[in-house]
């Protein structure tokens, strides 16, 4: 997927010189990158690499020790309306009397107390967003009994209904089967393109993202390399990032990043289900 940024507009997301220290340990090291409107970016790395901390910094839930984060050219703040967020783990009780459309609607007014009285325009918007994620057929089903892929569609609609300019997704492909992975990736890519929303999607395995990914942010031990897949996912670039030799191997259109024997279990991103 090729992407052409508008040179007259600031990037949707700018991360400049971000360092994070927690409990005397440096978690992020001088992180720099930017994401433009409509750009689909993969945030790739194994457990403990620093992906979740980086997302928390972007969301305003964690303050960087140094550096800054700009959203739409301005300093980010907690509950920024320009950011939509789909968290990694949400446990939905099968017996919870909440329909899929109710969960989507909470993206409009879930932060308010009391029972909302929605306007006709809001109801139309809810229906439009449900349709946008191809969830109309199960919109009135209890959200807790939906499949993992169906729940992800509903959660994406919930995050998008407030019309954000940046959508963050934390491991949305975890625990999905291959078909559901493909459907979720294609869905997010289509919406990002149609609505010019910048997407940052966290994942262990970059392979499901390759057909639609404009840019990759590769995280290893708190350090980041960013650029196109061709620029970043090479033996030379990733060996420099990791600080030791790694091999980048392509097998049947899949990319495998294999580290040295002593750390291979932590750095092989060939299959997210193996992590």
Residue 258, number of CB atoms within 10 A of its CB: 16
Cα–Cα dist 121/102, whole Å: 16
Average pLDDT of 122-127?
Answer: 92
Architecture of domain 1-82+164-236: 3-Layer(aba) Sandwich (3.40)
Q: Which residue has the tokens 């009135």?
A: 140
DSSP conformation class of 146: S
H helix intervals, the chain: 51-59, 100-109, 120-132, 148-160, 178-195, 229-232, 235-242, 264-267
- In the structure encoding, which two tokens stand for residue 250, read together? 């392509």
> Does 193 or 110 have the greater pLDDT score?
193
| C-alpha to C-alpha distance for 30 and 196, rounded to whole angstroms | 28
Considering the entire predicted model, what is its pTM? 0.85
Q: Which of 93-107, 199-213, 260-274 has the lowest mean pLDDT?
A: 260-274
Q: What count of residues does the chain have? A: 275
| Out of 27-31, 44-48, 76-80, least confident range | 76-80
Mean pLDDT of 154-178: 93
Q: For residues 79-87, give the mean pLDDT.
A: 89
Q: 107, 158 in Cβ contact below 8 A? A: yes
> What was the pLDDT predicted at 261?
46
For 89, residues 6+ apart whose C-beta sits below 8 A from its C-beta are none
Q: Which DSSP symbol is given to 218?
A: E
Among 89, 88, 32, residue whose Cα is nearest residue 64: 32
DSSP letters spanning 21-35:
EETTEEEEEEEEEEE
Q: Rounded to whole angstroms, what are the CA distances from 254 to 140, 176, 211?
A: 38, 18, 11
Q: For the chain, which residues make up each domain, given as ranges?
A: 1-82+164-236, 92-162
CB atoms within 10 A of CB 237: 17
Please determine, for residue 121, whether its predicted confidence score (pLDDT) is greater than 60: yes
Q: Is the pLDDT of residue 17 over 60?
A: yes
Please determine, for residue 263, whether its predicted confidence score (pLDDT) is greater than 90: no
Lowest mean pLDDT among 109-113, 146-150, 186-190, 240-244: 109-113
User: How far separated are the first and last CA of the chain, in Å rounded?
Assistant: 28
Phi-psi region of 25 (alpha: psi -120 to 50; beta: other; left: phi over 0): beta
pLDDT of 40: 96
Output the pLDDT for position 249: 92
User: Percent of the chain, pLDDT > 90?
Assistant: 68
Q: Give pLDDT, residue 79.
A: 76
Average of per-residue pLDDT values in the chain: 87
Q: CA–CA distance from 206 to each of 44, 49, 173 (Å)?
A: 6, 15, 11
Query: What pLDDT sits at residue 104?
Result: 94
| Spatial CB neighbours of 10, under 8 Å, sequence gap ≥ 6 | 70, 72, 73
- Answer for the pair 154, 187: CB distance below 8 angstroms, yes or no: no
Distance from C-alpha of 217 to C-alpha of 229, rounded to nearest angstrom: 9
């Amino acid at each position: 997927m090729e992407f052409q940024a508008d040179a007259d507009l600031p990037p949707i997301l700018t991360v400049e010189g971000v360092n994070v220290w927690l409990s005397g340990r440096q978690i992020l090291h001088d992180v720099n990158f930017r994401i433009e409107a409509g750009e689909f970016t993969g945030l790739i790395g194994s457990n403990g690499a620093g992906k979740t901390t980086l997302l928390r910094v972007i969301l305003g839930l964690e303050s960087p020790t140094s550096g800054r984060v700009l959203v739409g050219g301005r300093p980010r703040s907690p509950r920024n309306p320009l950011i939509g967020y789909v968290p990694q783990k949400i446990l939905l009780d099968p017996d919870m009397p909440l329909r899929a459309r109710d969960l989507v609607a909470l993206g409009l007014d879930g932060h308010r107390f009391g029972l909302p009285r929605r306007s006709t325009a809001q109801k139309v918007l809810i229906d439009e967003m449900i349709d946008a994620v191809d969830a109309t057929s199960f919109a009135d089903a209890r959200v807790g009994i939906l499949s993992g892929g169906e729940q992800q569609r509903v959660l994406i609609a919930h995050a998008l209904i407030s019309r954000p300019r940046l959508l963050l997704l934390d491991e949305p492909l975890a625990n999905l089967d291959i078909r559901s992975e493909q459907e979720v990736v294609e869905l997010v890519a289509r919406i990002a393109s149609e609505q010019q929303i910048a997407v940052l999607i966290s994942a262990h395995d970059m392979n499901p993202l390759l057909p639609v990914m404009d840019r990759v942010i590769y995280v290893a031990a708190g350090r980041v390399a960013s650029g196109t897949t061709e620029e970043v996912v090479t033996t030379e670039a990733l060996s420099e990032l990791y600080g030791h030799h790694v091999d980048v191997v392509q097998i049947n259109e899949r990319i495998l990043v294999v580290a040295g024997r002593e750390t291979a279990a932590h750095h092989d991103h060939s299959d997210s289900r193996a992590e």
